[in-house]
Amino acid sequence: MHEVQRAPHRADSYERPIDLAEALELLAEYGADARILAGGTDLLLEMQRQIRTDFSVLVDITGIAGLNSITTANGLIEIGPLVTHNQAVASAIITDAALPLAQACWEVGSPQLRNRATIAGNVVTASPANDTISALWALDSQIELTSMRGARTVPLREFYTGVRRTVMEPDELLTKISFPAMRDDATGIFVKLGLRRAQAISVVHVAVVLTRVDDIVTDAAIALGSVAPTIVSAPAAEAALVGNRLDDAAIAAAAAAAVAAASPIDDLRATAAYRAAGVRIAVERGLGAIAAGAERSQWPDQPVLLGPQDGLLGGGGAIGAVGPNDTIAMRVNGATVSGATRPDETLLDWLRVQGLTGTKEGCAEGECGACTVWLDGAAVMSCLVTAPAAAGSNVVTIEGLAASPDDLHPVQQTFIDHGAVQCGFCIPGILMAAGHLLGDNPNPTRAEVARALSGNLCRCTGYYKIIDAVMDAAGGAT
């Protein structure tokens, strides 16, 4: 059998604790045999690809209320473990006082992924390409780990022990990420070099936080991603800045020095030589933007979320444990639908087994968007959500987008009128993203339409007529 045909790793049971105490009890009970499930966007792929196979219990913490808060007090920002990327993007606390983290979150994946993926998950997955880690690193974050044995706090810079390895014990739950709010004398930026404008894995990324007093850099933190087995600091680059003005000479010196911190490799995305050059350019241009006061210049006024501002995860209610062949129910297109599931079945598979085949599987890895549905008001990739996690929720699929067969959603009609449909396989997912956008923002710009559809691939149309159709549905000029 070919390697790509190997069956995914399967979980035998799914637990959905209703409070932190129960979650910690489950972790204490199962230890290494359990794995925390939150947004699921990494874990389901790791199971699919047999990257993590040493566990049989999924502990879904999304039913626990109170874990999705972003708070600030006494100069400290605290992020709960269920805070999603989009929640951070929409948070004034983060955009005001932790801009590099907001920028990093904004550049992860697509709107659908950002609605599910948690920052804590990004930290725990521990890939050196993970964007938010560098931002949190430069912000000098602390990680709170809690177990039945108590809580401990670990500096993020001491959290990683290698590629996808951390100091977390099997019974521990990441319960908080905290870092100092950037003061008025601090500026920062996150800069990412990818191979495309969305759904891009970093080839190189850089997070910078500087403190300047009377124009002199008094403190500098520079973190580099995708250039070493873990996120790394660039101490020589930091040293090149401290004590100096942020002028061209200091910037050039820091950019050159940053390269020394990188130990990049060749991979499918780029050569090692390219990554070394990329570090230099990203640091140079990032520092240049700070020097020019332009670090915030590209931040969108109204980031396209396709979901609620206060996040999707957390407090979804208790459905208890799910074993093989247990039945779950949820509201789908306004009606209650119930059906058998198993602990790690995807929402996509479950919907399709219920006969709702308008939602398509194009990739099963959250890249193509053909499986986009609305889950409790957020557009999500249903291939990266477990069905048990969606139990009790409100789901809208393409079959529910039109009020009735004779009363199409405006964007369905304009897709017909503009010839925006060719083979049509991507279209249900695109319509669910577009329909959500128009609900959020009745008058989007073409750029916002494109941003909203940046998680959806089409191979036939080239996208132009799709954008025209969405603009027409919005009543805008095409």
Partner 1 sequence: MTVGDRHSRIDALGKVTGEADFPADLPAEGALHGKVVFSGQPHARMISMDTAAALADPEVVAVFTAADVPVNEYGLTMFDQPVLVGLNATGRAAVASDVSRWEADHIAFVVAESAAAAARAAAAIQVEWEQLPVVADIEAARRGEVLVHPEAGGSNTYYTYRIRKGDMETGWAEADVIVEDTYEVPHQEHAYLQPEAGVGFIDAKGRVTVKVAGQWTYEDLGQILHALDLPADQVRVVYTAVGGAFGGREDMSVQIVLALAAWRLSQRGETRPIRTVWSREESVVGHHKRHRGRIHARWGATKDGRITAVEATGYLDAGAYNYTTNKVLGNMHLTVAGAYDIPNAHIDSHAVYTNSVPGGAFRGFGAPQGAFVAESQMNKLAAALDMDPVELRLLNCLREGSIGITQVEMPAGVSLPEVITGCRDRSEWGARPAHVADVKVFESLPGMPDRIRTGRGFACAYKNVGFSFGFPERCEARVELHGDDEIDRVVLHHGGADVGQGSHTALLQMAAEVTGVAIERVEGVFSDTASSGDSGSASASRLSWMAGNSILGAAEEAAKAWLDGDRPAVGEFRFIPPATEMLDPATGVGQPNFAYGYVAEAVDIAVDLDTGHIHVGSVVCATDVGRAINPTLIEGQVEGAVVQAHGYTISEDLQVVAGHVLNPRYSGYLIPGILDIPDEVVSHILEYPDPRGPFGVRGMAEMPFIPYAPAVVAALHDATGVWFNEFPLTPSRVLAGLNAAATTGAP
- Segment 138 to 177, residues that bind partner 1, using CB under 8 A: none
The nearer residue to partner 1, 64 or 471, going by C-beta atoms, is 471
The nearer residue to partner 1, 167 or 340, going by C-beta atoms, is 340
Closest CA to 435 of 415, 419, 418, 421: 415
- How is residue 474 written in tokens? 């919005």
Residue type at position 192:
K
Does 5 contact partner 1 by CB under 8 A?
A: yes
Place of tokens 């045999």: 33
In 158-307 the beta strands, taken as DSSP E runs, fall at: 160-162, 165-166, 173-180, 186-193, 204-213, 216-225, 232-233
The nearer residue to partner 1, 63 or 194, going by C-beta atoms, is 194
Total of chain residues touching partner 1, rule CB under 8 A: 93
* CA-to-CA dists, residue 353 to 289, 360, 427, 432, angstroms: 51, 12, 20, 20
Could you tell me the smallest distance in angstroms from the CB atom of residue 353 to partner 1?
8
Of positions 191, 209, 222, 251, contacts partner 1 by CB under 8 A: 191
The nearer residue to partner 1, 146 or 414, going by C-beta atoms, is 414
Indicate the SS3 state at residue 408. Answer: coil
Specify the stretch interacting with partner 1 by CB under 8 A; choose among 1-9, 17-25, 216-224, 231-239: 1-9
Three-state DSSP string of 35-61: EEECCCCCHHHHHHCCCCCCCCEEEEH
| H-run or E-run covering 351 | helix 347-353
Could you tell me the smallest distance in angstroms from the CB atom of residue 245 to partner 1?
21
In 100-215 the beta strands, taken as DSSP E runs, fall at: 142-147, 150-155, 160-162, 165-166, 173-180, 186-193, 204-213
The nearer residue to partner 1, 54 or 406, going by C-beta atoms, is 406
The nearer residue to partner 1, 92 or 195, going by C-beta atoms, is 195
Could you tell me the smallest distance in angstroms from the CB atom of residue 420 to partner 1?
8
Closest CA to 84 of 59, 101, 96, 60: 101
The nearer residue to partner 1, 150 or 405, going by C-beta atoms, is 405
Residue type at position 125:
T
Could you tell me the smallest distance in angstroms from the CB atom of residue 393 to partner 1?
20
Does 66 contact partner 1 by CB under 8 A?
A: no
The nearer residue to partner 1, 6 or 152, going by C-beta atoms, is 6
The nearer residue to partner 1, 233 or 422, going by C-beta atoms, is 422
Mask for 344-383, x = binds partner 1 (CB under 8 A):
--------xx--xxxxxxxxxx-xx-x-------------
Interacting residues of 92 by C-beta distance below 8 A, sequence separation 6+:
none
Residue 166 pairs in a beta bridge with 160
Of positions 129, 193, 305, 438, contacts partner 1 by CB under 8 A: 193
* CA-to-CA dists, residue 379 to 75, 179, 204, 281, angstroms: 34, 30, 28, 35
Residue 335 pairs in a beta bridge with 332
Could you tell me the smallest distance in angstroms from the CB atom of residue 346 to partner 1?
13
In whole angstroms, give the CA distance from residue 478 to residue 470: 9
Specify the stretch interacting with partner 1 by CB under 8 A; choose among 190-198, 209-217, 246-254, 436-444: 190-198
Does 68 contact partner 1 by CB under 8 A?
A: no
Of positions 240, 378, 398, 438, contacts partner 1 by CB under 8 A: 398
- Segment 257 to 296, residues that bind partner 1, using CB under 8 A: 268, 270-271, 273-274, 277-278, 281-282, 285-286, 289, 292, 294-295
Residue 105, Cβ density class (10 Å: 0-12 exposed, 13-18 middle, ≥19 buried): buried
- CA torsion 28-34-39-43 (nearest 10°) is 150
- Segment 429 to 448, residues that bind partner 1, using CB under 8 A: 431
Does 4 contact partner 1 by CB under 8 A?
A: yes
Place of tokens 């290698």: 162
Specify the stretch interacting with partner 1 by CB under 8 A; choose among 84-92, 165-173, 437-445, 460-468: 460-468
Does 322 contact partner 1 by CB under 8 A?
A: no
Closest CA to 467 of 432, 424, 428, 420: 420
The nearer residue to partner 1, 114 or 360, going by C-beta atoms, is 360
The nearer residue to partner 1, 109 or 388, going by C-beta atoms, is 109
What are the two backbone dihedrals, phi and then psi, of residue 15, each rounded to the nearest 5 degrees? -120, 140
Could you tell me the smallest distance in angstroms from the CB atom of residue 452 to partner 1?
9
Could you tell me the smallest distance in angstroms from the CB atom of residue 4 to partner 1?
4
Of positions 82, 279, 465, 474, contacts partner 1 by CB under 8 A: 465
- Binning the chain into helix, strand and coil, the percentages to the nearest 5 are 35, 20, 45
The nearer residue to partner 1, 147 or 354, going by C-beta atoms, is 354
- Segment 88 to 117, residues that bind partner 1, using CB under 8 A: 103, 106-107
- Segment 122 to 141, residues that bind partner 1, using CB under 8 A: none
Of positions 113, 126, 145, 426, contacts partner 1 by CB under 8 A: 426
